[in-house]
Structure 1
Amino acid sequence: MNALQKEESNNKGFLLLRITIGVLILFHGIANMNSGYAFIKEVLDGCGIPSLLAYGVFVGEIVAPILMIIGYKAKLSSLVVAFNFLIAILLAHGADIFSLNQFGGWGIELQALYLLGSVSIFFLGAGKYAVSTTSKWD
C-alpha cells in the first residue's frame, strides 16, 4: 500500500469513526430528550446540582454529535462529547466503574466507548471527508 492509498484509507476510517460514535450518541441523546431529561434531572438533584443543567446534555448528546458526524469542528465537538460522558460516568455510573455487568462486560463499557471514541476523534481529527478541514479544531 503506497502513501496515497494509506492516507485515503485513514480518511475513510476517520469518517467511519465519526459517524459511528456520533450516530450512537445521537440515539442516546434523542432518548434523553424524549424523556425530558428526567433521569438526568434526578441524578443532578441527587447530587445537589441544579436540574436546569440537565439541558446541557442537549449540547453534549445532540448538537456536538451532529457536528462530529458532518465534520464541522470535529475536535471541539468531540471534546464536548467526551466531557459530557466523563460527567455522566462520574455522576450516574460511578458505582459501576469497578464492576462487571450481568454479561461479564465492564459496568461502564458503553459510556467508556463513547468517551474514548470521542477522545480518539479529538486526537485524529475529522479527516478529509468533512464539512470543514481548515481550522485547528477540525
Structure 2
Amino acid sequence: MITRLNQAFISLTSHPDFGKLLLRLTFGVLMLFHGVAKVQHGVSWIAGMLAAKGLPGFIAYGVFIGEIITPLLIIIGLFTRQAAFIYAFNILVATLLVGMGKFFTLTDVGAWGLESEALYFLGGLSIMFLGAGKYALSADKEKEWR
C-alpha cells in the first residue's frame, strides 16, 4: 500500500520542466525587487564602496545587469544558463562587498548571517546547471550538443 501511494505521489509530482520554471520565476522575480530598488534609489552608495576598495565606481552600474537584465532573461528562459552564471557572480560580488562581516554570524533566530546571499547564489548556480526546461522562450538544446 505504501509503495502504491508513493508511486501515485511520484506520478502526480514528476514534472521537472515545471519545477525548472518555478525555480526560474522564484529567483528571477525576487531578484527583480533588488534591481527595482537600485533604479529607484541609484547606485552611488555602491560606487562609494567600490571606490573605498580601490575599484572604479562605474562598476556599480553592473548591478543593473545582475539584478534586472539577468533576472528577466532567467524568467523568460532566454540565455538562461549564461544569465544564471552572471546572476550568481553578481551575488558573489555583492556578498564580498557588503556581507563578509556576516560570514561567521548567526541571526537572532539561528539563521546563518549570509543565508539569503547563499540562497540566491546557489539558486543561480542551480538554474545554471539545470537550464531553462521546455517552458522557456528558448528551450534547452542539450541533445544537440551530445
- TM-score above 0.5: yes
d(CA) in 1 for partners of 2:76, 2:12: 22
More deviation, 94-103/80-89: 94-103
Is 1:81 the counterpart of 2:74 in the alignment?
Answer: no
Number of corresponding residues: 134
How far apart are the structure 2 equivalents of 1:104 and 1:33?
Answer: 33
1:21-68 CA-partner distances (Å, limit 9, x unpaired):
000001011112211113312221221111110000100000000000
In structure 2, the partner of 1:114 is 120
Q: Give the letter aligned to residue 96 of structure 2.
A: L
Stretches of structure 2 that go unaligned for 5 or more consecutive residues are 1-6
Aligned residue number for residue 136 of structure 2? 130
How far did residue 135 of structure 1 move?
4.6
Match of 2:77 in 1: 71
Where do residues 1-138 of structure 1 align in structure 2 (5 Å cutoff)? 9-135=15-141
Distance 2:109 2:13 in 1: 38
CA contact (8 A) 1:73 1:135 kept: no
Consecutive unaligned residues of structure 1, counting only runs of 5 or more, are none
> Taking every aligned residue pair, what percent have the same amino acid on both sides?
46
Cα distance change on mapping 1:120 and 1:6 into 2, 3 Å: farther
What letter matches 1:59 in structure 2? I
Tell which structure's C-alpha radius of gyration is larger: 2
Code of the aligned partner of 1:19 = L
